[in-house]
Amino acid sequence: MLSTVAEIIRDLLIFVVVMAALLITLVVVISKMPDTNPLKRVLTALSYRLGATLAAGALAVPLEPVPGIDVLYDIGIPLILVWYWFTFFKDAFDIKSRPRDVTGEGRVVHDGALTPAKPR
């Protein structure tokens, strides 16, 4: 019985190490992509949302004991996070449908050539 539990724990640890290595590889590959790449833009936005969600959770710990503020926090932060995540999904579908203006002049880079930006 004990050896079976040890084998399960060993297999889980191997799985976690392999997934961590894959994540690190993915982060390195994506960081080397150009800023106009839609995958990089979506994953950057995703990481901002995850960071904001984790920060909201970490901020909850010291605010919970304070009367009054904890109620405002419990109501306000979920609403803000729902809106923030909604904008992520809305923008993620927009990213794949239109190119990004990287020149600041209303032109976008498409296949290496500058073309006029489409009106929104």
Together in a domain, 15 and 62? no
Reported as a pLDDT band with limits 50, 70 and 90, residue 1 is confident
pLDDT at 25: 94
pLDDT at 17: 97
Q: Which domain holds residue 4?
A: 1-32
Asked if residue 105 belongs to a domain, the reply is no
Together in a domain, 18 and 75? no
Nearest to 38 by CA among 102, 84, 107: 102
Digit-coded pLDDT (tens) for 59-109: 999 988 888 898 999 999 999 999 999 999 888 887 766 655 555 555 555
- Count of structural domains within the chain: 2
Asked if residue 108 belongs to a domain, the reply is no
Digit-coded pLDDT (tens) for 2-20: 889 999 999 999 999 999 9
Together in a domain, 24 and 74? no
pTM for the predicted model, two decimal places: 0.62
pLDDT at 114: 47
Quick one: how far is CA 46 from the chain centroid?
Answer: 2
Asked if residue 107 belongs to a domain, the reply is no
pLDDT at 55: 94
Mean pLDDT score, 45-69: 91
